[in-house]
Chains A and B, each alone.
Chain A
């Protein structure tokens, strides 16, 4: 069955970087758009970025331009999110999600989430 299993919680200092992973199983990663969405404590969901099925092209929310990189390793069926220049406002649970089909525009499977805490 489809599963997205994310890496564990991270604690980082302001100004540092974090790289999160999301291992996919049960479907061919190369056939789907993959996304990252975050949720600050007690807040709503915020879309961050997506990776096209070809693995070469990414799109980012304007809020994260220049600080976010999404990538993929097809040999391990894993997608990654790297966020740089961390600040306290980046403290959040980060979710990877699968877009249901090409041009589906909705997310049918989600990872369990990974808490990133930014604190000095």
Chain B
């Protein structure tokens, strides 16, 4: 099972919006609404920021939003802040044989 495809990097100025795509197949992203997103700062463990495509865990600001269309999920960060500079990974449930697949990861830079 191949990793989901994400852009290697995206960047934006403070206050701007950036969107990260996460492209899979009809066996993972396209098949289930079990899409989650994780933020990872350098030398830290991942932190859940979106689950079930577009839901927020407690404590995560609504500047982070998720969506899905077909085989592609997306994470949008609105009102970009310096602390948003991190790596972001999508994850999809992929059924009873593959189970879970992560994205390749995207580095978000705040200019």
Q: A43-B105, A46-B102, A62-B1 are in contact. List 7 more A-B contacts (CB 8 A).
A: A37-B46, A44-B3, A45-B89, A61-B100, A106-B91, A108-B51, A110-B47
Closest to A6 in B: B45
Question: For the complex, is B79 an interface residue (Cβ under 8 Å from A)?
Answer: no
Tell me the A18-62 residues at the B interface (CB within 8 Å). Answer: 35, 37, 43-47, 50, 59, 61-62
B90 to A: closest C-beta gap in Å:
10
User: How far, in whole Å, are A47 and B48 apart by their CA atoms in the complex?
Assistant: 15
A4 to B: closest C-beta gap in Å:
9
Question: For the complex, is A112 an interface residue (Cβ under 8 Å from B)?
Answer: yes
Chain B residues within 8 Å of A59, by CB: 99
Considering only CB atoms and an 8 Å cut-off, how many residues of chain B contact the other chain?
25
User: How far, in whole Å, are A110 and B46 apart by their CA atoms in the complex?
Assistant: 7
A106-B103 contact, Cβ under 8 Å, with A45-B89, A45-B91, A62-B1: no
Task: Verify A105–B45 contact, CB threshold 8 A.
Answer: no
Please report B residues at the A interface, Cβ cutoff 8 Å: 1, 3, 32, 34, 36, 38, 45-48, 51-52, 57, 89, 91, 93, 97-105
Please report A residues at the B interface, Cβ cutoff 8 Å: 35, 37, 43-47, 50, 59, 61-62, 95, 97, 100, 104-108, 110-113
Chain A residues within 8 Å of B34, by CB: 105-106
Closest to B47 in A: A110
Partner of A61, one of B46, B48, B99, B103: B99
User: How far, in whole Å, are A58 and B14 apart by their CA atoms in the complex?
Assistant: 44
Chain B residues within 8 Å of A104, by CB: 51
User: How far, in whole Å, are A43 and B104 apart by their CA atoms in the complex?
Assistant: 8
